[in-house]
Amino acid sequence: MVHLITAALFIGSVLLTVFGLNTVVQPMMGLALLGLALALRPRIGRLNPDLPTLREADAPALFDLLGGIADTCGVRPPETVQLAAEFSVTVTHYGFSRKRCLVVGLPLWAAYPPQQRVAAVAHALAYAAPRNARSRAFVAMALESLAAGSGTMRTNDTAYISWNANPLAFGADHVAAGARNFNIRGKFSEWVLVIPRAAMSATARLLLWLTLPASWSALLEADDAAARTASSEATVAALNDQDLARPVCVETHRMVIETKTLAPRRSTRSPQQDFWEKLARQAARLREQRGGDATQDSLNASRVARLSAAPRCQAAITLDEPGLTRIADELRRPEKAVVDKIMRDGVAERSFSSLVRR
């Protein structure tokens, strides 16, 4: 329905514009419908140009591991890997053929032990499989279009002018009148956009509600796939360690501040080589301090209880020391690129609140 409505809006805008050129109202209505159609247009995913991108030729050991995990989970392996500065492992799609890209957050990669990394990757690949309704092309593109369209029609503070100049200044009356008229038009535009924005938001919520059972089923299947791949213990430990997201991001921010302010002799363009090793040691200390008392939300608690009650699965894929060394060598240069980006831009604000909710 979302895609059919988008096509109908586009066709209607073209017909109103073409057959109503001798009028004024029909072309204006056509432009309005064209704006709605463009806001709802299907978005073709693309790779993030700001993140280092790896392909199989760049990291054969890493892609060999990903291929084995994908085969165990029964899904298609990713074509590319990107490294980010967030505490997450997700799968995105790009291109008309919807190729798969695994986005690995280096804070999570550093904080997790090897088997928990395998569990996190297996869960991300299995959850993004086509059996998850929200990962299918039509549903995923509809959700992206609705979210982007609703955001496009959202007003911001720059749409208003605040004029507080001296009323005795030269031309103050004309400028104040112009500002007042501009604000009136902005308010009118805001009221005009309320209905389509509300309709898009309501449709997105309805689509999320309709796909919730399928998404929950895919979530549980992804947990089972991760348990079969990395073992039940590693999967449960990975779920328990999701509460490390905020303290790890805070520690990353602290290390950035320390490098920039307390180590003036060390250039921020070439930060310490052991950045991720220090982060991993801090995560290990936090894990020891926490002990077995992991703070979980109700969703994660039910998933942990379900995996704990199920028959134990042994690891189908294990990371040995030579494999870890090869993968670490392949990731050394892109890891440095991510550190340079963190040193330049700081820790993204959403990293402090974006926990792995799956």
How high is the pLDDT of residue 151?
79
What's the pLDDT score for residue 23? 81
What pLDDT shows up at residue 266? 54
As a whole number of angstroms, the distance between CA 20 and CA 34 comes to: 14
33 Cβ neighbours under 8 A, 6+ residues apart:
9, 10, 12, 13, 16
Q: Write down the pLDDT at residue 60.
A: 94
Q: For the chain, how big is the Rg over CA atoms in Å?
A: 25
Q: What pLDDT, on a 0 to 100 scale, did the predictor assign at position 298?
A: 72
> Could you give the CA distance from residue 149 to residue 248 in angstroms, rounded to a whole number?
34
Indicate left, alpha or beta for 232 from its phi (over 0: left) and psi (-120 to 50: alpha): alpha
Which parts of the chain sit beneath pLDDT 50?
268-269, 350-358
Q: How far apart are CA 10 and CA 33, in angstroms?
A: 7
Single-letter residue type at 347: V
pLDDT tens per residue across span 274-318: 888 888 988 889 888 876 556 566 778 888 889 989 899 998 998
Q: What is the pLDDT of residue 175?
A: 67
The Cα 77–Cα 310 span in angstroms is: 27
d(CA 78, CA 125): 8
C-beta of residue 116 within 8 angstroms of C-beta of residue 230: yes
Sheet bearing 80-84, strands edge to edge: 53-54, 80-84, 99-105, 89-94
Helix (H) or strand (E) holding 90: strand 89-94
Do 104 and 83 meet the contact criterion of CB atoms below 8 Å apart? yes
Helix (H, G, I), strand (E, B) or coil at 39: helix
Rounded to an integer, what distance in angstroms lies between the CA atom of residue 343 and that of residue 272?
11
| Residue 18 CB partners (closer than 8 Å, separation 6+) | none
What tokens appear for 323 in the block? 């494999």
Under a CB-based contact definition with an 8 Å cutoff, are residues 272 and 266 in contact?
yes
Tokens encoding 257: 């501040």
Place of tokens 């029909």: 26
DSSP state of 238: H
The CA–CA distances, whole Å, from 71 to 172, 228, 316, 317, 355 equal 71, 11, 11, 11, 27
pLDDT at 28: 86
What are the residues facing 105 on neighbouring strands? 84
CA distances from 214 to 131, 139, 299 (A): 8, 12, 16
